Amino acid sequence: MGASVKKGGAEDGDDGGAELSEKVKEAAGEVEGEVRSAVENAEHLAAQIISDIEDRAKKEEDPGAVATEEGENKAAGAPTESALGRKQAEAALKHFAGYESRGKELRFDTLTRAAEEALAQGEALRNHLEQTLLKDLAVLSNEALQLRVVQLVGELQERTKWEALRLHEAVRKAEMEVSGKYVELIRKLREESVEEVGRQSRALEAEKQVALLKAMEEKDKACKTLLEEEMRSFTANVTAAFEQERAQDRALVEAQAKRELENVLYERETGYQAALAGRLEELGRLKGEVEALEAVFETDTDYEHVSWKVHRVSAALLAFELALQSSQPLRREIAALQHVTKGDPVLDAVLAGLPPAASEGVPTPSELQVRFPMVQKAAREAAFVPESSPGMVGHMFAGLLAAVTIQPRGLVEGSGADETLARAAYHVERGHLAEAVQELEGLGGLAGRTVEDWLQDARGRLELTQAARAMNARSALLNVSMV
């Protein structure tokens, strides 16, 4: 009986132990499930935390990302910067991909470490529970085992809570670690990206500067060419306008000079006609006197003959002087003097020395004064004509230079053509023909040839005046010899 009871107790103990073992396994499975659930929750929480960290890091790095995108777009839109922009974008993407890969590896290592730690702790709890149950199974009754199982389940649940809290704390620490490392990686990425973008920007700026300098040089060359063309066109237009204006001014000056000359000649001719009428009247009176003298001369053969001859010489000389006051030909007066002075060596010598132009007429001092301003102007222009360019261009240049050069006046000093002409003009205005001729005889070159005609007429006038004075002196001597 006792044996059967013991046997029955043993069987009951075996059945109870099996039941308890099943319960323990169920409890251990529940604990393992709770641990796995806690691990999954921890993984989910860690993934969410890492996702938040990535989002926050992207927000912090958004200006650099936007700048990278704008750089890529600008590189795609600008033909001159496309290659450089693509290189910058590829380098930035490589850097970012490397740091992103390192961040993912860090996150995976942290989660793996936390999961392994949670599983190890769950396995340790299960082993500890099984060992405790197996140890108590041999010494405790069914009721005690049930109480012990309930107690162990409670302890297990309590420890599971604490392990979950500890796991949560570990995940939080992992989050902080991952956050710090990931932010540090992002910071390094930002610094390297900014440095790379700055370097590429400086290279691009240098290329832009070279292109800008080349464009500026080409623009300066084009502007210089355009300016030279404009200057040539402007010079041609100004030269043509100047030549046209000069021709107009020359025509106006010549017309005005012609009118003034005609007026002066008309006034001179009118005065000459009046003076000639007076002289003719005087000549008529003198002729009457001469005729009277001739009548008286006829009364005394010897004395009267000499006196008659002297009076005839005086009359012829007076007619010569009257004719000399005009520019008319002197052929008749010279013939009369030659007729009445035959045998007188002095008068014959004076008449023989008269200039050939006297027979055709020599300009009066007044006429020479009127002509001299035009002669002076022509001589000034001739003096400015270059020896290397004596043609029309040289004369045009001389006329322009004479027009813009201040003309000296009066008894100025100097041996130049301008000074010589100024002194000659001063003497001509005052009727000093001899001094004017002396000044002009010193002119040479084209200016000297220009005044040659006027100088020849002035010499003729001086020679006629000197001849008249010499014949007057000889006539005075003849009159004195009769006293």
Look up tokens 């389940």; give the residue.
153
Tell me if 272 sits within 8 A of 326, measured CB to CB: yes
Read off the pLDDT band of 406 (50, 70, 90): low
pLDDT mean over 178-207: 72
Can you give the pLDDT at residue 384? 66
Secondary structure of 163-210 in HEC code, one letter for each residue: HHHHHHHHHHHHHHHHHHHHHHHHHHHHHHHHHHHHHHHHHHHHHHHH
Read off the pLDDT band of 165 (50, 70, 90): confident
pLDDT mean over 212-222: 86
pLDDT mean over 323-335: 78
Q: Higher confidence at residue 56 or residue 453?
A: 453
Residues 88-109 as b or e (16 or more Cβ within 10 Å = b): bbebbeeebeebbeebeebbee
Q: Domain ranges in the chain?
A: 2-222, 298-481
Over residues 80-102, the pLDDT tens digits come to 444 554 565 555 555 555 555 66
Burial of 302 (0-12, 13-18, 19+ CB in 10 A): exposed
Amino acid code (one letter) for 98: G
Read off the pLDDT band of 422 (50, 70, 90): confident
Least confident of 199-208, 232-241, 276-285, 401-410: 401-410
Over residues 385-399, the pLDDT tens digits come to 655 555 554 555 455
pLDDT mean over 90-118: 60
Strands (E), 192-276: none
For 308, residues 6+ apart whose C-beta sits below 8 A from its C-beta are 293, 294, 297, 298
Phi, psi of 61 (to 5 degrees): -90, 10
Look up tokens 């392994």; give the residue.
116
Among residues 25, 238, 12, 222, which one has the least CA distance to residue 126? 25
Encoded tokens for 7: 């046997």
Question: Is residue 474 predicted with pLDDT exceeding 70?
Answer: yes
Coil/strand/helix, residue 483: coil
- pTM for this predicted structure: 0.35
Tell me if 355 sits within 8 A of 464, measured CB to CB: yes
Least confident of 219-228, 288-297, 424-433: 288-297
